């Protein structure tokens, strides 16, 4: 097999036809309204509320600042926020940057999402909120988490960065918990170049989000919160409107890629895909594959290196665990979350995007299968 040139990266952003974007850019130019809630922004907010079946959605310049604003708008006393460490560093950084202490709960072995059976033992008198992550687009056991949170009068803020468009028994993930944060970064299955959103049933909370993302300003010009600047601009919103138009088609294509991977690689001892929770409509955000080195005969790093030799760049999302990041050295004990720790050592996320050619998937699978000893 020839080395891939250009290389195949773990993901590639979806883009609409450039002429359609040009048209919207022309509208922005003639309006001279570039940011601060212009026409494209208003259209996108309304369209996403409908898409995610949520009564209130607020747009942000990126997912990380959306998460920080969402935490701030909960108006919590200082204390602890329970989360999981098998995630992008943003989740933990947002908690810490907002002045809270992250407390790590382990993940379920099947889905790698917060293990609700271990949640209550992490709750202390200092717990202020729960921040579970729909990692790789797998929704958490939201019914169980929401039930426990209710019993302890705790808000639940879902990090749904990976879960745009995912539903559970026909119900949008955004309808669970107090609020959900979505990332619309270029590498996500739905993008606004950079971008993010918070969805919530609570209209008063949504009003606070408006303040936190815009220096604390409200329509009456009173400055009520010590907010920053996390507004989405018009060029981002225009990209979001167009990508939304093509979203279902893109997900369908991703589904075909995922199916091809499964067809090619299923039945290989020591290599496993994540199961899909009952009732879930997937968005195929990532393609995580686990390698058990004892049975497969090669470990995750060896498979990753083999792919690299052919110009194929899979990623080790999420290694290290956020609790192991250098900036948190000595603060957390990763041994307390053994399932997360093992996952971070055995998972490789293979290339996944709508335009990935099925023949390239076949080549990737051939290399992966060829690592088996």
Instruction: By CB under 6 A, name the binding residues for ligand T4K.
Output: 9-13, 62-64, 87-88, 90-91, 133, 159, 161-162, 183, 185-187, 196, 313, 317
C-alpha Rg value of the chain to the nearest Å: 21
How far apart are CB 158 and ligand T4K at their closest, in Å?
Answer: 10
Using CA atoms, how far apart are residues 162 and 370, in angstroms rounded to an integer?
30
Closest CA to 93 of 286, 355, 307, 327: 327
296 or 341, CB closer to ligand T4K? 341
Using CA atoms, how far apart are residues 57 and 77, in angstroms rounded to an integer?
25
Q: DSSP code of 327?
A: G
Residue 305, Cβ neighbours under 10 Å: how many?
13
How far apart are CB 269 and ligand T4K at their closest, in Å?
Answer: 29
Return the C-alpha torsion angle 292, 295, 301, 303, nearest 10: -120
148 or 198, CB closer to ligand T4K? 198
Using CA atoms, how far apart are residues 184 and 161, in angstroms rounded to an integer?
8
How far apart are CB 373 and ligand T4K at their closest, in Å?
Answer: 28
The angle formed by the CA atoms of residues 58, 167 and 59, to the nearest 5 degrees, is: 10
* 171, β-bridge pairs: 168
Helices 234-265 and 39-51 sit at what angle, rounded to 10 degrees? 30
191 or 296, CB closer to ligand T4K? 191
123 or 312, CB closer to ligand T4K? 312
How far apart are CB 11 and ligand T4K at their closest, in Å?
Answer: 5
164 or 332, CB closer to ligand T4K? 164
182 or 296, CB closer to ligand T4K? 182
How far apart are CB 204 and ligand T4K at their closest, in Å?
Answer: 25
With CB atoms as reference, the residue minimizing the distance to ligand T4K is: 63
How far apart are CB 224 and ligand T4K at their closest, in Å?
Answer: 25
């Amino acid at each position: 097999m020839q080395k891939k040139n250009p290389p195949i990266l773990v993901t590639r952003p979806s883009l609409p036809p450039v002429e359609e974007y040009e048209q919207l850019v022309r509208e922005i130019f003639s309006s001279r309204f570039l940011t601060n809630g212009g026409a494209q922004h208003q259209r996108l907010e309304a369209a996403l509320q409908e898409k995610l079946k949520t009564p209130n959605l607020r747009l942000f310049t990126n997912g990380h600042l959306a998460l920080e604003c969402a935490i701030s708008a909960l108006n919590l006393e200082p204390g602890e926020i329970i989360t999981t460490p098998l995630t992008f560093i943003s989740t933990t950084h947002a908690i810490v940057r907002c002045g809270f202490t992250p407390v790590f709960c382990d993940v379920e072995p099947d889905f790698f999402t917060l293990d609700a059976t271990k949640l209550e033992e992490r709750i202390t008198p200092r717990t202020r909120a729960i921040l579970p992550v729909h990692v790789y687009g797998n929704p958490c056991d939201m019914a169980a988490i929401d039930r426990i949170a209710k019993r302890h009068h705790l808000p639940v803020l879902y990090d749904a960065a990976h879960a745009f468009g995912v539903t559970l028994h026909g119900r949008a993930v955004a309808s669970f918990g107090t609020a959900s944060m979505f990332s619309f970064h270029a590498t996500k299955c739905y993008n606004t170049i950079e971008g993010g959103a918070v969805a919530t049933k609570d209209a008063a909370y949504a009003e606070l989000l408006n303040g936190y993302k815009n220096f604390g300003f409200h329509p009456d010009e009173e400055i009520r919160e010590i907010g920053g600047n996390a507004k989405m601009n018009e060029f981002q919103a225009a990209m979001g409107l167009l990508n939304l138009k093509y979203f279902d088609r893109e997900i369908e294509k991703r589904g075909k890629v995922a199916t091809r991977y499964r067809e090619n690689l299923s039945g290989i001892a020591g290599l496993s895909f994540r199961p899909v929770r009952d009732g879930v409509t997937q968005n195929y955000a990532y393609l995580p594959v686990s390698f058990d080195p004892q049975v497969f005969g090669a470990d995750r790093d060896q498979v990753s290196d083999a792919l690299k030799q052919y110009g194929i760049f899979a990623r080790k999302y999420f290694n290290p665990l956020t609790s192991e990041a250098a900036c948190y050295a000595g603060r957390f004990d990763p041994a307390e979350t053994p399932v997360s720790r093992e996952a971070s050592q055995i998972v490789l996320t293979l290339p996944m995007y709508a335009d990935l050619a099925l023949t390239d998937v076949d080549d990737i699978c051939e290399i992966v299968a060829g690592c088996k000893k």
